[in-house]
Amino acid sequence: MKLSKSVWQTYKEVPAEAQIPSHQLMMRAGLIHKLGSGLYTYMPFAYRTVRKIEQVVREEMDKVGGQEILMNVVTPGELWQESGRWEKMGSLMLKFLDKADRDLCISPTNEEAVADVFRSSVKSYKQLPVNLYQINTKFRDEIRPRFGLMRAREFTMKDAYTFHMDYECLDREYEKIYQAYENIFTRLGLKFSVVEADAGAMGSKESKTHEFQVTAETGEDIIIFSDEAGYAANVEKADTKRVNLEFDKIGGELKDVDTPNMGTIEDVCNFLKKPEHHSIKSLVYSAITGEDEEIVLIQLLGDDELNELKLKNFLGCEEVVPTPENKLAKLGLPKGFIGAVDLPQPMRVIFDQAIDLDAFYVTGGMKPDLHKENFCPNKHVKEKDVVDLRLARKGDLTPDGKHVVDEKKGIEVGHIFQLGDKYTKAMDVKILDQNGKSMHPLMGCYGIGVTRVMAAAIEQNHDENGIIWPKEMAPYDLYFALIGKSDEIKETADGIYEELKAAGFDVLFDDRKAGPGFKFKDSDLLGLPIRVVLGERDFKEKGELEIVIRRTNEKLFVKKEELISKLKELYAQY
Amino acid sequence: MKLSKSVWQTYKEVPAEAQIPSHQLMMRAGLIHKLGSGLYTYMPFAYRTVRKIEQVVREEMDKVGGQEILMNVVTPGELWQESGRWEKMGSLMLKFLDKADRDLCISPTNEEAVADVFRSSVKSYKQLPVNLYQINTKFRDEIRPRFGLMRAREFTMKDAYTFHMDYECLDREYEKIYQAYENIFTRLGLKFSVVEADAGAMGSKESKTHEFQVTAETGEDIIIFSDEAGYAANVEKADTKRVNLEFDKIGGELKDVDTPNMGTIEDVCNFLKKPEHHSIKSLVYSAITGEDEEIVLIQLLGDDELNELKLKNFLGCEEVVPTPENKLAKLGLPKGFIGAVDLPQPMRVIFDQAIDLDAFYVTGGMKPDLHKENFCPNKHVKEKDVVDLRLARKGDLTPDGKHVVDEKKGIEVGHIFQLGDKYTKAMDVKILDQNGKSMHPLMGCYGIGVTRVMAAAIEQNHDENGIIWPKEMAPYDLYFALIGKSDEIKETADGIYEELKAAGFDVLFDDRKAGPGFKFKDSDLLGLPIRVVLGERDFKEKGELEIVIRRTNEKLFVKKEELISKLKELYAQY
């Protein structure tokens, strides 16, 4: 592609709302155009990248027996009503009525649609396993879309769905797709972690589920891992063990201690000269399901944090949120000084399992500016639940207690789930088994955020000058810049451009009327793997062209005759 | 692809709503799955065809300088408000509010979006012409979607947009894309006509616009054409000349004639023994713009029909509809007996230009069961408009009067328009011209209904047994059927399957446990260009395989050694 013929505009400034590198760089490099809130148009270079990613995904999915279909962007509400998710999906699903007053939505995910496709096409166990996938537009109606493509409202996803007679078959296909995902992200040149995840609302508790996380400092997810142990889990799912478990087993009588204006664990423990884990942190949460709300009191060691997902899973409710302050006041619970003794009314109390229930702790005194010492859960709280509630963190031990874990940040680009028979049961999808009996097949679902992969790749691969594309997804392989004005050098450039293309390279030819500074800046910003510069002076004097490797900024000069072979070598190494 | 591993189900029965061959055959062949009203999922084979069509479109668009982008399926309402089309688009555009109460729609077309992309990326005349295109999902909220993919609500379209400094440049690019479209439909193996069309609401009256019509008996469009004259136009646009212009120039005094129960032209002319074109047909129409409604009286020769589009263009209103009967009664206009004399109230009267205004006609008598003879427009109607209103038909003459036209039916699969500066003016999109002055660039837009092309291809190419795919868009090139059960023949079949693939063919291998009748029926229904049959008996006895050409049903036997070369030859000829 000749740049003189292409619609490409780079920008010096980016809107203030662009806070992360991928958003900033894609705006600066003119790769995306914001059409509206959370709505981005992919400009020609970005769309080349999208299609390259799609192609890798497609090839690897096909290799494991996937069959590509195209389901609908707009899905009838009745399918969601059949599965029971019409109400449950929450407000991220954009719902509306058509002209005939039928419920419709823009699909954020397609379990219902694919189950409907399946039940009309597959009747017998002999046809299983089935692996259907699509690459299609999705929509999530985020109220505050942000981070560019990372949390756009409209985005492209590959979603695959498998169907099985039994868990053995589901496990086998799951494993194949797990492997396909590893191949995909490896081919795309990304550093990634596969982590255990929480199945959440998607499947049953026992179902396997893994996330594929591109590691990047700007990631929103925290990965708890130990390379030695081969352990990695999303912090929400991680069930690591905490260290620092020496508690006060001597204690004494429960007693009040004045703590004026000391509303934090840190203040109180400093004042009392105790380690923070000799105190109990009390959190009040509202567990919400539909119209129902239950208030629960959470007890954690002073230096631990709550893993809300674990709480939600334990309670089996739809949502957990910290009870708002004005409600606390109404309930007679003094924020900053809450504890599990002297509760103003009966309330479910849930202890994190890391707490030694026979040890003694500092805890809230249930009056402003008051704490209590020598609070002993087993002595002072009669009815209680004890479960794993704490958030894993760096320094914990792996679940087997053998290795210390570390943490890093990641961007979720893929997620695979075993769904079991949740959807086939709800929608009464049946097939005949070996004995001619009808049964509900098991399902798996497997997503890749195609456009998110592009953004994640940039988060992981950039420097102060711009993007550094992994070569499999770079819009072009080479940035070929002509620096010179004579007709002669232009002709030479045209010839080299044709040779490069003939050699199999995707070439972006910067034939614009502009100086080297301008061109090299654009080149660095766009981040193609290799820049080739035909400089009139160098070429006339020495017959040489300059090659610059984007990732390392390494520069070398080659004779024209050696250009192609050298580029092939360098490109293979990139 | 082995059929034993694929999700494919054919059907004997189709739903009653499937009325046209493409809809029936795609349902029977299990190519599409109806997810909801006007919402179809493309099953694996159909999606292969969609992607093949897309690839041809992409290649030809790229050849004429098109740059592929991906705009949004969901577009912000504010862009449509800016262009003034938010209200005008009518109810086919699906509009809704997002969670933050912002107007959104699912794009039926993207002039506004592309103009927004353009104004942020292109600043100078030097960058023109620009040709941006996308292949994306579109949605039209038809109240009664029908004919399967032909009038589906969700569909895939290629829409391209060009930008220009002047009409010379617009004409040049328009011509290139016209040529690209001819290449596309030729490569896709379709018989098609390029016809003059009406620009309608899209551009100005002078702007060029052409439709690409796949000819098929089931087409909804009528094409008026003369191959000798190189003339073809959509009947709505055709400005042919009528023949049969000998009128009654003698006449006499205007007089009443009783015509009891004769409410049709035919009845009256039979009774009076006059040719139908010696009578005037009176039609009452409501011309609607917003809340405004004007009633007009149309005068046509008795054997002519009204071209509503010509009327609408002449009046410049938003819509024209026949005035409903109850309203006619209120206005004192007796249906079946209306004429332009003795109007109960002042009313605009519009004569078709084919009427000789000095001749004498039978016309309605303005009372039930009454007509008038010797009605002479120039004598009896003072104020009148005279314009071209009649619908062209077979037997007319080309506009130059030299050739007789015929008519045929077509399916519109492509439409190209010169938009002029309509959108760039409305949205104040500007660029700098050669003199540094800002101006509104001209636009062109160019659509292809990708999924409709698939349906149109079937309308044009099928027989009683099923689809007959043009080879460029067939899901696979070959249907390779194994008829035999021994392990030996299965092994041979596997070997041949691999050889066929290695030879570059897309092969669908019917390795299912089923008999020849079942397999051949499915094969005919699916309609791949060539069927290869490995029959155990024939192969053992004579070492031969059978080849069947789908389009001609021609059969031949070849030795295994000659299979590949014979297939290559036959496929090249297909």
For A97-115, what is each residue's pLDDT tens digit?
A: 998 899 999 989 999 999 9
Distance set, CA B76 to CA A38, A156, B283 (Å): 10, 18, 42
Test mutation, B47, B49, B70, B146, chain A, max A CBs within 10 A: B70
Lowest mean pLDDT among A48-52, B41-45, B105-109, B171-175: B105-109
Q: Residue-wise over A187-204: b if at least 16 C-beta within 10 A, else e?
A: bbbbebbbbbbbbeebbe
- In this prediction, residue A203 carries a pLDDT of 55
Test mutation, B52, B63, B67, chain A, max A CBs within 10 A: B67
Continuous H helices in A219-277? 265-272
Confidence of residue A318 (pLDDT cuts 50, 70, 90): confident
CA angle B331, B336, B338 (to 5 degrees): 50
- In this prediction, residue B270 carries a pLDDT of 93
- In this prediction, residue A89 carries a pLDDT of 83
Test mutation, B58, B59, B75, B104, chain A, max A CBs within 10 A: B104
Q: Which residues from chain A sit within 8 angstroms of residue B44, using beta carbons? A: 67-69, 132
- In this prediction, residue B15 carries a pLDDT of 86
**Tens-place pLDDT, residues B472-488:** 999 999 999 999 999 99
Torsion of CA B176, B182, B188, B191, to 10 degrees: 170
Contact A67 B141 (CB under 8 A): no
Q: Which residues from chain B sit within 8 angstroms of residue A68, using beta carbons? A: 44, 47-48
What DSSP assignment string belongs to A479-502? EEEEE--SHHHHHHHHHHHHHHHH
Nearest residue of A to residue B43, measured between CA atoms:
A69
> Is the CB of residue A141 less than 8 Å away from at least one CB of chain B?
yes
Per the prediction, chain B carries an average pLDDT of 94
Answer whether residue B200 shows pLDDT above 70: no
> Is the CB of residue A67 less than 8 Å away from at least one CB of chain B?
yes
**Rg for chain B (alpha carbons), in Å?**
29
The 10 Å Cβ neighbour count of residue B268 is 23
**Tens-place pLDDT, residues A457-484:** 999 999 999 999 999 999 999 999 999 9
Q: How far is A58 from chain B (nearest CA, A)?
A: 12
For residues A279 and A268, the answer to whether their CB atoms sit within 8 Å is: yes
d(CA A225, CA B97): 43
Contact B78 A153 (CB under 8 A): no
ipTM of the complex as predicted? 0.91
- A-B interface: how many C-beta pairs under 8 angstroms? 168
For residues A64 and A179, the answer to whether their CB atoms sit within 8 Å is: yes
- In this prediction, residue A204 carries a pLDDT of 62
Q: Locate B161 and state its tokens.
A: 């947009």
Contact B6 A37 (CB under 8 A): no
In this complex, the residue of B30, B67, B123 whose CB is nearest that of residue A44 is: B67
- In this prediction, residue B198 carries a pLDDT of 80
Q: Which residues from chain B sit within 8 angstroms of residue A160, using beta carbons? A: none
- In this prediction, residue B12 carries a pLDDT of 92
Mutual orientation of helices A44-63 and A450-460 as an angle, nearest 10°? 110
Nearest residue of B to residue A139, measured between CA atoms:
B74
For residues B56 and B187, the answer to whether their CB atoms sit within 8 Å is: yes
Q: Which residues from chain B sit within 8 angstroms of residue A5, using beta carbons? A: 65
**Tens-place pLDDT, residues B204-217:** 666 899 999 999 99
Phi/psi for A70 (5° steps) reads -135, 110
Stated length of chain B: 574
Lowest mean pLDDT among A220-224, B143-147, B545-549: B143-147
Contact B70 A123 (CB under 8 A): no
Nearest residue of B to residue A28, measured between CA atoms:
B121
**Tens-place pLDDT, residues A227-261:** 999 999 999 999 999 998 899 999 899 999 999 98
Contact B37 A102 (CB under 8 A): yes
User: Which residues neighbour A50 within 8 Å (Cβ) at sequence distance 6 or greater?
Assistant: A42, A156, A450, A451, A454, B70
Per the prediction, chain A carries an average pLDDT of 94
- In this prediction, residue B250 carries a pLDDT of 93
What DSSP assignment string belongs to A282-296? EEEEEEEETTEEEEE
Contact B35 A102 (CB under 8 A): no
- In this prediction, residue B290 carries a pLDDT of 82
Among residues B192, B162, B187, the alpha carbon closest in space to that of B417 is found at B162
- In this prediction, residue A380 carries a pLDDT of 95
d(CA B533, CA B405): 47
Answer whether residue B203 shows pLDDT above 90: no
Contact B117 A41 (CB under 8 A): yes
More confident residue, B263 or A443: A443
**Tens-place pLDDT, residues A380-419:** 999 999 999 999 999 999 999 999 999 999 999 999 999 9
Can you count the helices (H) and strands (E) in chain A? 16, 31
- In this prediction, residue B225 carries a pLDDT of 96
**Tens-place pLDDT, residues B406-457:** 999 999 999 999 999 999 999 999 999 999 999 999 999 999 999 999 999 9
- In this prediction, residue A351 carries a pLDDT of 98
In this complex, the residue of B36, B39, B143 whose CB is nearest that of residue A99 is: B143
Helix (H, G, I), strand (E, B) or coil at A523: helix
**Rg for chain A (alpha carbons), in Å?**
29
- Residues 31-50, chain B, touching A (beta carbon < 8 A): 33, 35-37, 39-44, 47-48, 50
- In this prediction, residue B262 carries a pLDDT of 87
Answer whether residue A200 shows pLDDT above 80: no
Q: Which residues from chain A sit within 8 angstroms of residue B29, using beta carbons? A: none
Distance set, CA A370 to CA A263, A283, A304, A317 (Å): 9, 16, 21, 33
Q: Locate B354 and state its tokens.
A: 């084919």
Nearest residue of A to residue B451, measured between CA atoms:
A70
- In this prediction, residue B144 carries a pLDDT of 84
Confidence of residue A142 (pLDDT cuts 50, 70, 90): confident
> Is the CB of residue A329 less than 8 Å away from at least one CB of chain B?
no
Helix (H, G, I), strand (E, B) or coil at B450: helix
Looking at chain B, the whole-number percentage of residues with pLDDT higher than 90 is 89
- In this prediction, residue A263 carries a pLDDT of 80
**Tens-place pLDDT, residues B137-189:** 999 998 888 899 999 999 999 999 999 999 999 999 999 999 999 999 999 99
The 10 Å Cβ neighbour count of residue B395 is 13
- In this prediction, residue A144 carries a pLDDT of 84
Test mutation, A39, A40, A41, A450, chain B, max B CBs within 10 A: A41
Continuous H helices in B343-478? 377-380, 422-426, 450-460
In this complex, the residue of B36, B43, B102 whose CB is nearest that of residue A69 is: B43
